[in-house]
Structure 1
Amino acid sequence: MPKNKRPVPRKSANSPELKDEQQTTELCALALDLADGEFNQDIVADSTRADLAQKALDFQRLLRKLLNQGKDEVLYGAIELARDEALDGFRYLRNAVEEGAASVLMRREGAPEMEIDAFAIPVFVHSQGGLDPAFDFQDGAAYEALLDSFTDAGLESAKAKVVLVSHAYDLDEFERVSYGQLHAMVREAAHSLTEKKIAAAPALERSMAAGWSATGFGADDTAVELRFLLGFALKRADDPFYKVPAGEKAADAYFAKRAERYQQWTERHAPLVARCLGRGRGAPELRLNFLYQDLFFGARAQGQSEYAMLQLLSTLNQALDGQSPDQVEAVIAPADLDDEMLLRVQLRAGGAVLAEADKPLDPCADLEEEVDDLRDALASIGIARLTVALRFDAQGQPVEPRPLG
């Protein structure tokens, strides 16, 4: 007779695993309902509006609780669950988690409500030999001047308190920072800006512990590396500096003015940033290209996208060696690799595939805009003949290709 198998133990009604599963499902369900209500708000009944208002409160309460507890498994699990259910819900939930992780509201009796946000600035650093980690943020005078520049140049409110981390993060370091860890870092920054007593900042220290990833640059190599400046801004929640006007034209003008101030800041203060970044291993001079300042996860996404584009162009440009770009065709189509969406570019000449390269494709991205960005990027290496397709088949052949006009 076969031996009886040991029964699988049931999860206790109070087990942490079951509670995590319930919270994952609850957070996802609330986000799906709120996203659907937001999309259909013009046609919902008053009773439904009241129900959605209560769900919005429940959603924010649960989200804050999960962030404060550092429940990354629940947060990431809920986002993945929403992705499988509905794109609008996925977008709503991911945006809410990213914004919530990067900010903390502080309320004290008899004092105005305060808010602290984690912002970041991605910058591509051109050097000879690659950046030398021994010189990372070693210029104290440059650091102090750079810190003051955020309020002096109007990147943050003149009434805000700003702290800048004395470290330039590489992409691997930034990608390791989770929702829960960032939220803990924001709380640590809030403590340092509001309390006289110095306290440990383990989450912040952990974010820098691994240091920069090793590179293979020689002393004479031309290097392009991505770095992130990370800062925290504490301000009154009702500071008019951050209030976006209600009208569309007024809002556009507001953001245009902010973009103009940022552009001026990059031009004026790039030398200070370079001094903080140090020097290359082969030569001291650095050349910087800034992306736009944003909250942590928005800035990270910018950097990831631009870095992936540069890698793609590098791969394709190497394949052009000995080929005339006007004799080459680029075929662009979505691809799926291990459930990750990609935008693939296949370089062809006379029917033969010279090379192919992939770029991650965000599920919420506008495919036409992504293709337009690729068109501009490919033009920079001389490729003008473009074809788009629905996808690539198992043999790597484009399905339903058509010339891109």
Structure 2
Amino acid sequence: MNILIIGTGYVGTTTGLIFCEMGHKVTGLDLDDQKIQALKTGKLHFFEPGLEELLTKHIQTHQLTFTKDTETAIKENDQIFICVGTPQGSDGSADLTFVKNVAKSIGQHINKYKVIVTKSTVPVGTAELVTNVIQENQTAPIPFDVVSNPEFLREGSALQDALNPDRIVIGTTSETARTIMRELYKDFHCPIVETHPKASEMIKYAANSFLALKISYINELARVCDNLAINVKDVSNGIGLDHRINPHFLKAGMGYGGSCFPKDVNALIQTAKELGNPLSILEAVVQVNAEQPVYFIEKIKQALGNDLKNKTIAVLGLSFKANTDDIRESPSLVLIDKLLEEQATIKTHDPVVKMGAPHQFPTIEETAAGADALVICTDWDDYKNLDWAGLKSLMNQPYIMDGRNMLDKEKVERLGFRYLGIANY
């Protein structure tokens, strides 16, 4: 099949590369010239393990091309995937400006029957909206179908998730489009959920919101465990072994972040409010998540004498999770802002995220030098096997504040560190 991917960000690039792996010919369309030029040379504008190698491979095989020519790209491809951003609006709802712009362009340039697929995370009813915008901008009544086909990619493991999905959701009322989508995904061995577009759109929001709920639940429970001197890891393990619950997303930490969970939870909350059916559980999820970094800072303050003025805090990890350079809604940034309010001096390190000029990228040793505490905000593997004894010798005070409960508490304490985790006893 000839497939057009509109939007060459994280979702669009990953989706296009997977279709190339399946033997399809893919065109990536974006209006950002800098992105297009970088992709043409095999360079990703974001960090995601394994994708850059795949990008180079399919550019060389000519399975994958990139363009800024909207009209030609729409006319020459039979399946069009909408993979543009849906940023959060001021009221928490999803901003569909980019989706509408794409639909308008499709309507203006469509020349034969096509299947238009919304891969972006969009509110319930967007498939209908896209259909209407395309029809309004057509110069002639050319038939087409709009399908909802949400992505379920985890940043940091997008390639494996895309190659080995646990389910594929196809939302359409058209038998023609359904047949084409089945053919497109015929080589994938997983359950395929075929449903109405509205249900498909809801599935994406409901899934992300439920996972966010699990994270906030275990984080709030960890605060109770802290007061009772209970190791929350034991609690997570004990309840996670129940197959009805499972252990995923039951790891206590500093809260969720990134480009999906915060935005999607807020969008679903806003949709429910507009319908007069408020989702009080999800509203509590958001509140707990906002409080979690603040809770951790209070623990840091207590350990360092309740006064952080002129204390030097080394923050390890800026991305919201390991194996990505995404800092959107990252708990580490919330923590840094709060520490600055306490007049602490901040030093930062991240294996991938680079902020500032190149000469300002410090080594882990430079970051630790003179620090009163090392605060782990991202569970990068790089931090598991550091020369902790060497780092301790560089520090002003030997405190480790483990916001991800990733270190061996007994091991670092044997080295002379004072360790503080989140209900990690």
Higher RCO (C-alpha under 8 Å, 6+ residues apart): 1
TM-score by length of 2: 0.30
Query: Which has a greater percent of strand?
Result: 1
TM-score by length of 1: 0.31
